[in-house]
Amino acid sequence: MHAPAKTHVIVGLSGGVDSAVAALLLKEQGYAVEGLFMDNWEDQEERRYCTAAEDFQDARQVCEQLDIPLHKANFAAEYRERVFRYFLDEYAAGRTPNPDVLCNSEIKFKVFLDYALRLGAKLIATGHYARTEKTDAGLRLMRAGDADKDQSYFLHAVSQDALSMSLFPVGALLKRQVRERAREAGFANHSKKDSTGICFIGERKFSEFLAKYLPAQPGNIETPLGEVLGTHPGLMYYTLGQRQGLGIGGRQGSPAMPWYVAAKDLRRNALVVVQDHDHPLLQQQSLVADKLHWISGAAPAPQFNCTAKSRYRQMDQACHVTVVNAQQCRVEFHQPQRALTPGQYVVFYRENECLGGGIINEVGPVTSGNLSACAVRTRNAA
């Protein structure tokens, strides 16, 4: 898509193996490569849980071996305002956000891109596993060559303009090929473990982190019929479909089966749980998504068929999409879906092309019964 010819490219170096190999490949292709390490978290008390210092040293070592300059930029203020505040607001509202999508659209492909352009770059590059294709109709976002590592889900909200100035050098490679190139180049991070989770949370318990920022609001754990099974420390600590960490255990008169979070009743601050993994309360066949973003700039059609993912690791699910307006659509799945979660993203695909996506705002109807009916039964039982 872009002719190297010493074109100035700044690579977002995270300290990981993927961005390191991205820089290596670009230099081999003839680009004028520089690196930039983004520091997105500056809370000194919290930094002990983050690996940013070690990651910076890994990035610096890669740049020394490649003989390219390394810049370091602090985007903590932008991250806190555009990503972290949204993260907390969503949890406070009882939803389950995915900050990685916003980090890409607001920080890596907006703030970082603008910063790189001010440094004189013509393009930026990252170690994301994704590909782009230029067509007469514009740029298309495509899945990666490694299906297990594909990150197009997290890139669906990046603007067309930003994508047109971005390179994904490892997008066509398998992860094992990337590690092998890093090993051949002598990079110390060639076997470095892939980062998981969110940097500012680190290895500690998620509940411990949230408790520092949001007040606890304990309430009851109930069955759909209103039987109280225990108490919870706050609805924000749970996500739909969750099995672990409920603290209910076996109960006399109940089957020896695990419990699952089926719903959050925000009005009564109650956590509704069921024992069947495929309970009707955990099954939905439609959703309403808002804050839509289409890679091409517009929906493919007012109504269309495609596949979708309602969470990152999910297999593609066949669905029918009806566009309500520029900001909202309704999705009808061909098969019931388990634990569709407000706050998460639904991302649409046609074969290997990522069309775009939006934030899940409403879900339903469930296969049998619904939460409001459960609440009515609970009040009647009382």
Residue positions annotated with a catalytic role: 103, 199
- Within 13 Å of residue 356, how many CA atoms lie on the same side as its CB? 23
CA triplet 98, 112, 19: central angle to 5 degrees?
A: 80
Cα separation of the two ends of the chain = 66
Q: H/E element holding 166?
A: strand 166-167
- Kindly give, in sequence order, each residue whose CB lies less than 8 Å from that of residue 253, ignoring residues fewer than 6 positions away: none
Q: In a 3-state reduction of DSSP, which class is residue 265? A: strand
- Kindly give, in sequence order, each residue whose CB lies less than 8 Å from that of residue 82, ignoring residues fewer than 6 positions away: 102, 106, 107, 111
Do strands 228-232 and 219-222 pair parallel, antiparallel, or not at all (unpaired)?
Answer: antiparallel
Q: In a 3-state reduction of DSSP, which class is residue 298? A: coil
- Kindly give, in sequence order, each residue whose CB lies less than 8 Å from that of residue 276, ignoring residues fewer than 6 positions away: 257, 260, 282
Residue 30 to residues 2, 3, 4, 8, 25, Cα–Cα distance (Å) = 11, 9, 5, 10, 9
Task: Determine contact, residues 237/207, Cβ cutoff 8 Å.
Answer: yes
